[in-house]
Chain A
């Protein structure tokens, strides 16, 4: 298993070292995998976010492909526009990839995203989700989980609403392909990226990318936390075709309690036992619903 991990793993890097991400950056890791798949055949559109900085402030660049920075709420529309422009000059090959944070996706860019999705523009939209506005110092977003602390939801008033179910919103748009992925499962992540690149129309990848600075955990646990999120089922890995057909990518063997994921993250320090139980219930309910959905709507893959 380990051997195939390296054996099939594309060796060539399209993300350069020397970039300005913090040590142990989940989003940096995610994009390293993504560009291994998209290589140089893509234009990447980045709205205001940590990745604006990681990709390089003028005149630097850390990605070996064309990058276009755009305003915070505009990523989806800018991406769609570029794609149309490329087609206008006869380039139907080059992919346009939007690389946006959770703030830009769940909150401020939502209306543009919804419009582009509804029109089924030929665009690959990647949301890297670090569950808060991190580049401006950890303000809660609608992607922040229930019970998490941030500078705008400080102790003792942790976030009281659950994380927005973005995948359901995207599925409701009936887009051809949507998937969740995690930096802890790079082979799965790249396979989904590959699949997304082959589909025409609007595609959405929701990637779980821990931010140890914002979550209050030791930096070395980025991948371990991302893995625990999948194993505890708080962030399940799955795909949705045409907004209706679900396929779960990995079934965690044992039921690891959510507690194992929460502990060691300072952002959850304020949770008491009853709140944790509530969160566990929510996780179990979501997982059961996902399993039902996958059972009732078998995924018919195009490969």
Chain B
């Protein structure tokens, strides 16, 4: 003891004459043991990408955007895009909403994406794939929507040569032609495409598969093919006059506006439909100069399949909503002049529609936009594919992507029908995983993680902040390897049973009540890290023994020699990753 050095009192040796208590192994008193077990955050379960949200939020909280991107790209390579357009499935389920306000996950996601855009550097050697397992393999992707792009990203990560065939002269799928540019500024898409090009993805725009090159030809030239052709086949309304000039499908209308084929809109516009395409088309028509825009939907506002966010945007832009109304006839001589419509009785989605015959009325109309829903483009490519999808689904139900036949895959809207950008990115990610397996490379060599529980915290997913350097990507991927037999850079599976950790298991009291913050880092710090060890150290702080120790790598370890099993850590852990359990051999 250096106790006496300054004051000369007490004499050296005073402390040495006594026996320090650590020889008293109080762990033998214990009959319940704190057990570490992570579980699913509700946001992660809600996200179509199964994004490890608390993991990357935690990185942002530490101010480590590089680290956040490293975690993010395992799930979502395009956070700048989803940060703009995603419907925030995660935020709807955020546990923090029960405390004050949901975490603004999408805003933080956007910040991570923009950080990536700003900091992306091309690897001058052209060796952008981090891994070499698919070197020499050639993959063709049909369709450059988010599904195709995401698959391309992940395949490049494993070294495959990737060529994307796109029938339109511009890449991006509905990101380029469908989603209104006020929601997704096109420079963000352009930057994303530029990064993919720099990563070595080969874009062949203006090449329609089935026209310029046939599918069998493609299959002969490439080792594998992914069909990510989307669901852009407009359904017909089946009413009289549908073929008149001045009648346009919603996707065609939006595509024309975004590609510059149509410069402006004028006069009286009527939109028929209640989905996202209808609402976006109505909103764009109004913003691009239509005098008046009326949107006719056959049920009530509550029943509209469009996302509330988009409905609000359209209402704010001045679109008139006419509910419980169906088109009866489109009238005009050389082109559309007016539409006849009928009201319907109130009904819920899925119920049969009852038209009220006495209620017919007319609307002036210079442009009619029809948005009666879209269907998969697979049958357009080859009618036999419809059947192939059904067969393959029966054998092995799709989870984001489907192996149709040997080395032929489908993903995205083409497989699921119209969904979301996040779901399409997920499909592309899953397709890359299946493609990697099909192309014969070895799965990760590490043994699958046993499902048994340990008392250590060393299984925390996050590498400690101190070691998160720009080169930590490979090291980081190593961590995932030990968690499950997955490929580096491929998302770790969800934990245990597919249900979310309850709000009851969390200790919200440790967080001051505060609504959304403007600063990204602060906002990320609002995350409860549900079911996910964030290495906050609360367990260590409140242990009266102390029987919890932080390892140099930042993880926490319970000293079973001393833990008396009081359970304070399990009650206080704000993430709910500790529980008290009877462990055979511990106490009596």
Given contacts A9-B541, A40-B3, contact A2 B510 (CB under 8 A): yes
Interface residues of A in 1-48 (CB under 8 A from B): 1-3, 5-6, 9, 11, 13, 15-26, 28-29, 32, 40
Is the beta-carbon distance between A6 and B21 smaller than 8 angstroms? no
Cβ of A64 within 8 Å of any chain B Cβ, yes or no, is yes
Is the beta-carbon distance between A220 and B537 smaller than 8 angstroms? no
Query: A9 to chain B: which residues have CB within 8 Å?
Result: 537, 541
A-B contact pairs, 10 of them (CB 8 A): A3-B525, A5-B541, A17-B547, A19-B26, A23-B566, A66-B14, A91-B7, A93-B7, A219-B567, A220-B566
Size band of the B side of the interface? 35 or more
Cβ of B20 within 8 Å of any chain A Cβ, yes or no, is yes
Pick the contact of B570: A64, A91, A220 (CB < 8 A): A220
Cβ of B449 within 8 Å of any chain A Cβ, yes or no, is no
Is the beta-carbon distance between B62 and A220 smaller than 8 angstroms? no
Q: How far is the CA of A89 from the CA of B566 in the complex (A)?
A: 44
Cβ of A257 within 8 Å of any chain B Cβ, yes or no, is no
Closest to B507 in A: A224
Interface residues of A in 51-73 (CB under 8 A from B): 56, 58-62, 64-66
Closest to A254 in B: B513
Q: How far is the CA of A92 from the CA of B586 in the complex (A)?
A: 49
B105 CB, nearest partner CB in chain A, Å: 18
Is the beta-carbon distance between B7 and A20 smaller than 8 angstroms? no
Query: B443 to chain A: which residues have CB within 8 Å?
Result: none
Cβ of A287 within 8 Å of any chain B Cβ, yes or no, is no
Cβ of A84 within 8 Å of any chain B Cβ, yes or no, is no
Residue of A24, A32, A59, A64 with most chain B CB atoms under a 10 A cut-off: A24
Binding site for B on A (CB under 8 A): 1-3, 5-6, 9, 11, 13, 15-26, 28-29, 32, 40, 56, 58-62, 64-66, 86, 89-91, 93-94, 186, 218-224, 227, 231, 253
Stretch at the interface among B252-260, B311-319, B344-352, B557-565: B557-565
Interface residues of B in 1-16 (CB under 8 A from A): 1-3, 6-10, 14-15
Cβ of B24 within 8 Å of any chain A Cβ, yes or no, is yes
Cβ of B574 within 8 Å of any chain A Cβ, yes or no, is yes
B17 CB, nearest partner CB in chain A, Å: 7
Query: A65 to chain B: which residues have CB within 8 Å?
Result: 3
Is the beta-carbon distance between B9 and A94 smaller than 8 angstroms? yes
Closest to B513 in A: A253
A28 CB, nearest partner CB in chain B, Å: 4
Q: How far is the CA of A220 from the CA of B24 in the complex (A)?
A: 22
Closest to A224 in B: B571
Q: How far is the CA of A2 from the CA of B290 in the complex (A)?
A: 52
B40 CB, nearest partner CB in chain A, Å: 21
Given contacts A23-B566, A220-B580, contact A17 B22 (CB under 8 A): yes
B424 CB, nearest partner CB in chain A, Å: 35
Given contacts A17-B545, A18-B23, A19-B545, contact A89 B62 (CB under 8 A): no
Binding site for A on B (CB under 8 A): 1-3, 6-10, 14-15, 17-26, 29-30, 61-62, 509-513, 525, 534, 536-538, 540-547, 550, 559, 561-562, 564-568, 570-572, 574, 580
- Ranked nearest first, the 6 interchain pairs of A and B with the lowest CB-CB distance are A220-B567, A24-B566, A6-B537, A18-B21, A23-B564, A23-B566
Pick the contact of B8: A21, A60, A91 (CB < 8 A): A91
Given contacts A17-B547, A93-B6, contact A29 B26 (CB under 8 A): no
Question: Number of contacts between A and B (CB, 8 Å)?
Answer: 147
Is the beta-carbon distance between A60 and B24 smaller than 8 angstroms? yes
Is the beta-carbon distance between B1 and A40 smaller than 8 angstroms? yes
Closest to B61 in A: A3
Is the beta-carbon distance between A23 and B21 smaller than 8 angstroms? no
A29 CB, nearest partner CB in chain B, Å: 4
Query: A23 to chain B: which residues have CB within 8 Å?
Result: 29-30, 564-566
Q: How far is the CA of A15 from the CA of B26 in the complex (A)?
A: 14
Is the beta-carbon distance between A21 and B20 smaller than 8 angstroms? no
- A-B contacts besides A28-B545, A60-B21, 14 pairs, CB < 8 Å: A1-B512, A3-B62, A5-B537, A6-B536, A6-B537, A6-B540, A18-B20, A18-B24, A20-B21, A23-B30, A61-B20, A94-B9, A218-B567, A231-B509
Closest to B569 in A: A220
B69 CB, nearest partner CB in chain A, Å: 20
Given contacts A2-B511, A32-B546, A220-B580, contact A17 B26 (CB under 8 A): yes
Query: A60 to chain B: which residues have CB within 8 Å?
Result: 18-21, 24
A163 CB, nearest partner CB in chain B, Å: 24
Q: How far is the CA of A59 from the CA of B21 in the complex (A)?
A: 9
Closest to A218 in B: B567
Is the beta-carbon distance between A29 and B562 smaller than 8 angstroms? no
Is the beta-carbon distance between A66 and B3 smaller than 8 angstroms? yes
B425 CB, nearest partner CB in chain A, Å: 30
Is the beta-carbon distance between B21 and A56 smaller than 8 angstroms? yes
Query: B25 to chain A: which residues have CB within 8 Å?
Result: 18
Is the beta-carbon distance between B18 and A61 smaller than 8 angstroms? yes
Query: B10 to chain A: which residues have CB within 8 Å?
Result: 66
Pick the contact of B544: A2, A18, A221, A222 (CB < 8 A): A222
Given contacts A5-B536, A29-B542, contact A59 B566 (CB under 8 A): no
A11 CB, nearest partner CB in chain B, Å: 7
A271 CB, nearest partner CB in chain B, Å: 24
Query: B547 to chain A: which residues have CB within 8 Å?
Result: 17
Query: A253 to chain B: which residues have CB within 8 Å?
Result: 513
Closest to B550 in A: A11
Is the beta-carbon distance between B21 and A17 smaller than 8 angstroms? yes
Given contacts A32-B544, A32-B546, A222-B566, contact A2 B22 (CB under 8 A): no
Q: How far is the CA of A13 from the CA of B25 in the complex (A)?
A: 18
Residue of B21, B62, B544 with most chain A CB atoms under a 10 A cut-off: B544
Query: A91 to chain B: which residues have CB within 8 Å?
Result: 7-9
Is the beta-carbon distance between B537 and A223 smaller than 8 angstroms? no
Is the beta-carbon distance between A220 and B568 smaller than 8 angstroms? yes
Q: How far is the CA of A253 from the CA of B131 in the complex (A)?
A: 53
Residue of B23, B545, B561 with most chain A CB atoms under a 10 A cut-off: B545
Q: How far is the CA of A224 from the CA of B507 in the complex (A)?
A: 9
A61 CB, nearest partner CB in chain B, Å: 4
B24 CB, nearest partner CB in chain A, Å: 4
Query: B26 to chain A: which residues have CB within 8 Å?
Result: 17-20
Given contacts A3-B62, A17-B545, contact A227 B509 (CB under 8 A): yes
